[in-house]
Structure 1
């Protein structure tokens, strides 16, 4: 798997856009996640910030480290929200690796297609470029044509995400009614769509929230394999910790009992000699008891290290493997990886998938997909073996501390105020908050935080009595996160942004867009003449705005109208030049009255869309003081 392969997971199907995504991993790096979100949305950071929607929800292991002292703050990756981790046993690691994604025909439309990816990789470029990884992907259209087994997998993955979120993370809006959840609105839709696919089929997707992966893998292998197989091929990024004795690791004995085998099967374990754990001392003895322990093979010769975790059981003859079953997932072939579960004090939360491999693997397929080259497998010199790091156990670091206030929403009735959404276990804490333009002040759980008319905070700073500080998201009354209206210096810039629909995937604006300007030289012109010129310019601008908006929206297909109404609402909230708006107000030039006329609006509006259209126009007219 290459970097492009890993990023391809996020590319929407033809004719669709990303609606929502739930990502679970042990680690995630900003550079990779930014590129993934950009592939998913088709929008660059500035455009996503202007859109103001959360589309990607991230759940990472909560342990702190030298490179991770906080969750991603709001706005760091526009369009992405990372949940705050709960305090769990320090020895328990969230090691699962899953992506559940929804796609829609438009940015405001409902999902019509889901995708599930089960990975061995984290969301980092280290995984994508420097490691041998595997990924399993299934696409499920929501039109009733999906196969029952695919539906079962997506439903099971959705249930896993929902349970994981409840057990391991703080979800500040959980106590709110579904219609009031703005920060997680799209996640709610994604999980509901996944749950609607439930069937009575046994899913191939497995997890270790409550039960070890090994038990589930063995159960599926033994129920599916009716005739003995003569081939067992295993790979893992890490193996179990050394015991101090040179003996076969206990997990290898478990692997021998996974399937139904012939009396003397061919067993192969792919091991990175520099991080072999308990395998190192065992392999040094040269007595590996029916196992061939060799280095993994990189078919692309990129010197990548094995990080994939898999078990293949099949029939090997003349170099060809057939009649196979495969496990791949996050769980290493170690005690922690496949013999523990998340319900135990030091158990890992892992995910995986077990499925039949109908294809017949030729030698070159085994080299490319399962990293094993039978004819030129490279043995490991005794001096090369090393215990190395153990990668599926947490460092001796605490869980990140979640803020006492998780987020806030702007409410407009009965008065403009901030509604603070507190962590459910925060009682009697001394907390201070601030935002840009407002100094720190103390708040308690029942306090009402009133906003001035000109205050529109986009992120909330939180401080506890120990002087620890966090930044948490603020959701405005329209459901936008960390959103500020775009600001334009000239009418020409504002009009160009309004007419930029559908949104182009470029951030840069042309330098020559400002040919028109409301800055006019009135030197030597009498007051009366200046007023007439100002009025004439305002009339021209109003007519141009009405004409061009009407022309664009009249030509839009029905599929784009919801997106267009959302775009109109954002752009009319933007900062058009105040001097021009003042002139329109002075001379009672209400452009929005004209845009209500049937011949100037889209002929395809439904009753619901027409009501929304009028609501947008009336709201803009009031905010501009035209009514």
Structure 2
């Protein structure tokens, strides 16, 4: 299967990580995604994070927070809900849930020790009428993550990926895969009494949910060991046991899930442990016989612990097995805002999982044992004790964070190409009265009588927008540009030849990649080297073979078109229209490799120029039943989408009035 659509949230992310993520997710390189112009990942980060500009990571759209007063202190949860599907069989799809302790950054992969939990459900698992307890648990987990995402999306400007009925075809194309992801998750129907392992803090702090979830998933036994790991710890305390670990242990003792004499172990980075480095706090832990351990690392490993976890189990004298074990992993640090305080009272939005942890041993149990040592799945070094206060330093406190990325009144701008000039427009259902739209030289644009903004230059991936009440030096939000083909923040279309047109059609829904353009290059600025400049505009040397070449194109379209799954039909009509326009006339481009103001006017492609003297409309036959999948019937929504795309191409080729290639079938066959 290939990646279809996904929602990702985290405190932070960067372009390097997301580029690697979306390339693996889609199987498509940077230049292919830049040409496709489709959003695969909707990314929701804390509002303090700088915007990843639209088009910088083709296929990923960093969504702005709706306002500066969300119902939480920090958006700190780290959850991905992803959809995959078979490219040719629409009945074969799958959902993947990722819950991590790390952010979506290059630093996470290179410098941090983090944990991730993954759950996969295929379509058959979601739709199966008969299920066992394990499958019901998986459904409950996935449904809980679905509900979390439905709530979280309300805090972000997601309308571009959640277009309503009146949004128009271009916006519908952007949101189609996300609508399908929503339909698939809607089919999750867990048992009413099923308790998910997935946990979040929309309503309650993690501490308020901990004991009940442990009892449900791991049983009500008392355990005699509790291990707490975190990359960040609470600050501001100068005496007594650390507040968060002691509150957690007390909650478990009060719920009869931990013995009063249980061994408490904290796993810390010794140079950034906040209040744990205070002398009186350290002495209190020593008096209570708490242990401090460093995280497990290989020799020379400079990574730092960033994972947040709790692990509790029984340890019998002389025994190696972890009895009645359970684990929590997630985004919540062992700080009041991360673990003790609900968002409604100033806490963070956090998410994680609480689950049974079977099959573990405290220490390696021999080569024949089926048990996995705890240190193989959690970064705990049982031999790296910290016994001297001088080994600890508090480190720096949390940085001051300013709001950086808040949604403007418009979610995107629409590209309006013309033969003599190009324009930008505000979407039909959005209001631009409170914003300033900035031009290529960062100047404020003035709308014409139609409310369109003249754009002097090629189709941009994004346009700067600031609020009308801000001064000229205020920071701007980069709003993505949606073109009339339904492509978002995409590089402008280039003229192509017949062979490349057929390659684009055959590879649908993917785009054939031209190779890696390099990390620092803008794919929209690269010259197209498939043909020499002007090749698409001059007459082809094999002009007498125009009919043969046109039939080759029609056959290629028909062969692919009859096999397109229903779920991909709108995207197919978009691809078909784009390819036909690239063979014909691109109003926003002149000759290949030249800007529109450098030439007298747009030029038709060689194939279309050679076809015109024959006065034939070869595209009309693509509406005939032999050229259509079974589900596309004349008058249906699918047929109208195809007719719209073909009509636009026929007008572009100037063949509307020519003889049509249609079947002439008599009543007697």
Flag whether TM exceeds 0.5 (same fold).
Answer: yes
* 1:71 matched residue in structure 2: 51
* 1:474 matched residue in structure 2: 481
Provide the C-alpha distance between the structure 1 equivalents of 2:454 and 2:439, rounded to a whole number of angstroms.
11
Gaps of 5+ in 1: 1-15, 522-533
Describe how 1:7-22 pairs up with structure 2 within 5 A.
16-22=1-7
Describe how 1:137-536 pairs up with structure 2 within 5 A.
137-143=118-124, 144-145=127-128, 147-167=135-155, 169-172=156-159, 177-178=164-165, 180=167, 182=172, 183-199=174-190, 200=192, 201-223=194-216, 224-245=218-239, 247-259=240-252, 260-281=257-278, 282-283=281-282, 287-298=286-297, 302-317=301-316, 318-344=319-345, 346-361=346-361, 363-364=363-364, 365-374=373-382, 376-379=383-386, 381-390=388-397, 393=398, 395-409=400-414, 418-420=425-427, 429=434, 431-434=435-438, 440-442=444-446, 448-449=451-452, 459-464=462-467, 465-467=470-472, 468=474, 469-483=476-490, 486-488=493-495, 490=497, 492-500=499-507, 503=510, 506-508=513-515
* 2:113 matched residue in structure 1: 132
How far did 1:330 drift? 0.2
Number of aligned residues: 582
Q: 1:582 aligns with which of 606, 609, 616?
A: 609
Provide the C-alpha distance between the structure 2 equivalents of 1:590 and 1:379, rounded to a whole number of angstroms.
81
Residue deviations 1:568-593, cap 9 Å, x none?
Answer: 23311325472522342243243324
What TM-score does the superposition give when structure 2 sets the normalisation length? 0.76
Q: RMSD across aligned C-alpha pairs, in angstroms?
A: 4.0
Provide the C-alpha distance between the structure 2 equivalents of 1:274 and 1:403, rounded to a whole number of angstroms.
41
CA gap 1:166/1:503 in 2 versus in 1, 3 angstroms: closer
Provide the C-alpha distance between the structure 1 equivalents of 2:59 and 2:74, rounded to a whole number of angstroms.
26
Provide the C-alpha distance between the structure 2 equivalents of 1:175 and 1:131, rounded to a whole number of angstroms.
35
SS at match of 1:287: helix
Larger mean CA deviation between 169-178 and 376-385 belongs to: 169-178
Asked whether the equivalents of residues 409 and 418 of structure 1 are also in contact (C-alpha less than 8 Å), the reply is yes
Larger mean CA deviation between 601-610 and 543-552 belongs to: 601-610
Provide the C-alpha distance between the structure 1 equivalents of 2:361 and 2:380, rounded to a whole number of angstroms.
11
Describe how 1:21-40 pairs up with structure 2 within 5 A.
21-40=6-25
Asked whether the equivalents of residues 14 and 52 of structure 2 are also in contact (C-alpha less than 8 Å), the reply is no
CA gap 1:567/1:443 in 2 versus in 1, 3 angstroms: closer
SS at match of 1:268: strand
* 2:578 matched residue in structure 1: 570
Asked whether the equivalents of residues 19 and 57 of structure 2 are also in contact (C-alpha less than 8 Å), the reply is yes
CA gap 1:417/1:296 in 2 versus in 1, 3 angstroms: closer
CA gap 1:586/1:423 in 2 versus in 1, 3 angstroms: closer
Q: 1:620 aligns with which of 627, 649, 654?
A: 649
Provide the C-alpha distance between the structure 1 equivalents of 2:76 and 2:268, rounded to a whole number of angstroms.
20
CA gap 1:421/1:314 in 2 versus in 1, 3 angstroms: farther
Gaps of 5+ in 2: 365-372, 418-422, 517-527, 585-602, 657-669
Provide the C-alpha distance between the structure 2 equivalents of 1:139 and 1:57, rounded to a whole number of angstroms.
20
* 2:559 matched residue in structure 1: 554
Asked whether the equivalents of residues 17 and 107 of structure 1 are also in contact (C-alpha less than 8 Å), the reply is no
What TM-score does the superposition give when structure 1 sets the normalisation length? 0.81
Provide the C-alpha distance between the structure 1 equivalents of 2:461 and 2:9, rounded to a whole number of angstroms.
26
How far did 1:51 drift? 1.4
How far did 1:179 drift? 5.7
